[in-house]
Amino acid sequence: GRIGRLVTRIMMEDDDIKLNAINAGSATTDYMAYQYKYDTIHGIAKGTVEIDGDFLILNGEKIQTSRCRDPKEVGWGALGADYVCESTGVFLTKESAQSILDGGAKKVIYSAPAKDDS
């Protein structure tokens, strides 16, 4: 969604941050690339956007993409993801976000208010 794309844009502008993977539910890599490059509200993204199979190549950086409904299946740890930005609005409790941690992430950052005390 839009929040995930904006987080991606911000991350791509910071040389100190490495974006390892994007999980976009059912979106194809072609669709992810188009939506990233052309946002109807925020305009055209800076830099280059290319596709190589299941990888997005943003400004020359190769980023693994996946389309998993269950975040545990993404394999965040194997992808080297320490932090995962949860921007679906679905996993906003400690219990539901645990599936992201079970997938290997070290921390989960919510883009919306938590629905419990997490």
At 33 the pLDDT is: 96
Q: Which CATH architecture has domain 1-67?
A: 3-Layer(aba) Sandwich (3.40)
The confidence score (pLDDT) of residue 61 equals: 95
Q: Which residues of the chain have pLDDT under 70?
A: none
Please state, in angstroms and rounded to a whole number, the distance separating the CA atoms of residues 46 and 37.
8
Residue 71's pLDDT is 84
pTM: 0.87
pLDDT at residue number 34: 96
DSSP string, 48-98: -EEEETTEEEETTEEEEEE--SSGGGG-TTTTT-SEEEE-SSS--SHHHHH
Report the run of H or E that residue 44 belongs to, with start and end.
Answer: strand 43-44
The pLDDT of residue 66: 93
Q: Which two tokens stand for residue 46?
A: 């800076």
Domain boundaries, given as residue ranges, for the chain: 1-67, 70-118
51 alpha-carbon distance from chain centroid: 16
Q: What is the pLDDT of residue 89?
A: 83
The Cα–Cα gap between 86 and 108 comes to 7
Residue 25: the pLDDT is 82
Q: Can you give the pLDDT at residue 91? A: 87
DSSP state letter for 42: T
